[in-house]
Amino acid sequence: MSADPRVSIHPDSTVLMAAIAARLITKLVDIQDKYGEATVVLTGGSIGIGSLKAVADSPASPAVDWSKVNFWWGDERFVAADDPERNARQAHEALLAHISADPARIQVPGSTGDFGSPEEAAADYARRLGEAAAAEHAADMSDDRPEHPAALPRFDIVLLGVGPDAHVASLFPEQAGIREKELSVVGVRNSPKPPPERVSLTLPAINTASEIWMVVAGEDKAGAVGLALAGANPVQVPAAGPRGRNETLWLIDENAASRVPEQLVRKG
């Protein structure tokens, strides 16, 4: 079962990022009340990273027990670990350096200093995801515990940006990554957006999440947003593919919303 998308529109990108931050803090508190810990999959980009900074700056941020939040990434650039293009480095500077996160719970995809190819880094990331899923399964004492562990841990919230070409994570239109059905993580080569080599969760992995939040701002994204919400084929329009099991929420600004079908819209 997956949730049909709903759309929440905010006046501009500054208001949008503040709203994402407030929503994320509230949701993480709720999840921790239920499970004792929470897992969020982060995204890069100006809105993704700006929202993390807004979390760090929020007076409500200490309401979250950051030491019990698991951090993963939807994708990462396969470059040196200290490259300013790395999503993880940007997230560290925006948020992770300012909270009491447990380093053992911060799972960053490998860099060129760790592996010789994006495929090797992807295999390592998939292995770590599997290990986290196995540990989660072993700790599950509930009556409805599945017989075998899943390939992926529980993703409570996945944050995704959208490119003007409608890519999400590092899944680009018509490329092999968006067509992948079996693997949870892929190495990406020949990305049309530099840098050319990346590591990315696949669409089937993304769609295991309880909630997926598409965070988008800017008139240059309006065409991609409109096509995605009109039900385009994800191979041509990857942003049309993400569907959370319980919630698929588009958090966008008015500039990105100009081509959104009216019946999907709610303001604020």
Residue 195 contacts residue 77 (beta carbons within 8 Å):
yes
Q: How far apart are CA 5 and CA 131, in angstroms?
A: 31
Q: How far apart are CA 224 and CA 147, in angstroms?
A: 41
The two tokens of residue 214 are 């598409």
pLDDT tens figures, 29-71: 999 999 999 999 999 999 999 999 999 999 999 999 999 999 9
Q: How far apart are CA 63 and CA 31, in angstroms?
A: 12
- Among residues 234, 236, 210, 221, the alpha carbon closest in space to that of 9 is found at 221
- Three-class HEC string of 233-252: CCCCCHHHCCCCCCEEEEEE
Beta strands in the chain (DSSP E): 5-10, 38-42, 69-73, 75-77, 157-160, 185-188, 198-201, 211-216, 247-253, 265-267
Residue in this structure with the two tokens 């696949």, named with its chain if needed: 202
Q: How far apart are CA 72 and CA 159, in angstroms?
A: 10
pLDDT beneath 70, residues of the chain: 1-2, 141, 143, 145, 147-148, 263-268
pTM as predicted: 0.95
CA distances from 190 to 91, 170, 180 (A): 24, 11, 16
Domains along the chain with CATH numbers: 7-267 (3.40.50.1360)
Residue in this structure with the two tokens 């993880």, named with its chain if needed: 88
CB atoms within 10 A of CB 175: 19
CA distances from 74 to 51, 60, 111, 129, 268 (A): 16, 25, 15, 12, 26
Q: What is the pLDDT of residue 214?
A: 98
User: Quick check: bond before 195 cis, omega within 30?
Assistant: yes
Q: What is the pLDDT of residue 9?
A: 96
CA distances from 202 to 92, 112, 134, 180, 263 (A): 24, 21, 20, 7, 29
Q: What is the pLDDT of residue 264?
A: 65
Classify burial at 151, counting beta carbons within 10 Å of its beta carbon; exposed 0-12, middle 13-18, buried 19 or more: middle
